[in-house]
Amino acid sequence: MENVVVIGGGPAGCTAALYAARADLNPLVLEGELSKEILPGGQLMTTTEVENFPGFPDGVSGPELCDLMKRQAIKFGARFVSKTAASVDLGSRPFTIQSGNESWQAKAIIIATGATARYMGLESEDRFMNRGVSACATCDGALPRFRNKPVVVVGGGDSAMEEALFLARFASRVHVVHRRDKFRASKIMGDRVIAHEKITVEWNSVVDEVLGNDKDGVTGVRLRDVRTGETRELACTGYFSAIGHKPNTDLFAGILDRDETGYLITKPGSACTNIPGVFAAGDVQDHVYRQAITAAGSGCMAAIDCVRWLEAQET
């Protein structure tokens, strides 16, 4: 019987494990098995340079930061296993988590399975990931490779507008590529983008290919006009996908409360879900900020809520 099982090994999961370990709960962390879809350590593992995580004035690579978080949690007694939760039974306590032929019972669960950025599905997106391809302007936009250089943002919703406006602070030119002749974004956000002197909207266009080479990374994109089929190349050093994120919550469909886009719903000011003893932290319940530091902060919240809930069960 485990006191607490943490599902997910990114910043939220590692921080939750650290706090739970320091509370002598001896947490078990299911960090996931390495695959194309699952990266133990979460989205941070795809980030080569992290310059906005406090405590690292010279920056740190995403994988290194993940490793340091994991090692710190292990130091205080957390246990990590490279297993992916395949099913959960939250109908009665203790809760049960299944992975293949293995299963664990837990008094409490902290869910930190994160969210996955959506891309167009181009092979070239994978090829140039972290070498000009990104899904987070706030994370990467200020990096040297994008400063005073042209970049491309793909998308037409509010998230794409926010990304474009943020990138305009650093890039020489921001090209917003949208497949329609008007944005899906709110009018005020769309108007701001259209009126911005450093932003050009490429209407009725899609990215057919991300262009580049092994030495320089991204050097441009090939655009296709959806009306005429004509293609043209556009020079840029950055390609930002802003077509949304998919929270990794399929496992909890019909069990835990989710919003219309699939994010887990937690009670205001806490990490508590609709099932007592089950907590959620990080990008799996945060569709607004999606930063390593906010994920870590909510991991702290989840662990503290979990400790207090377990203590209350014993009284």
Q: Which residues are catalytic, by number?
A: 136, 139-140
Angle 138-139-143 from CA coordinates, rounded to 5°: 100
Q: What is the DSSP string of 244-282?
A: -EEES-GGGTTTS-B-TTSPBP--TTS-B-SSTTEEE-G
Taking alpha carbons only, the member of 314, 305, 247 closest to residue 16 is 305
* Token pair listed for 157: 């919703």
Query: Using omega within 30 degrees of 0 as the cis cutoff, is the peptide bond preceding 94 cis?
Result: yes
Nearest to 26 by CA among 76, 92, 97, 86: 76
Other Cβ atoms less than 10 A from the Cβ of 91: the count is 9
Helix or strand holding residue 98 (H, E)? strand 95-99
DSSP reduced 3-state for 183: coil
Q: For residue 246, what are the β-bridge partners?
A: 116
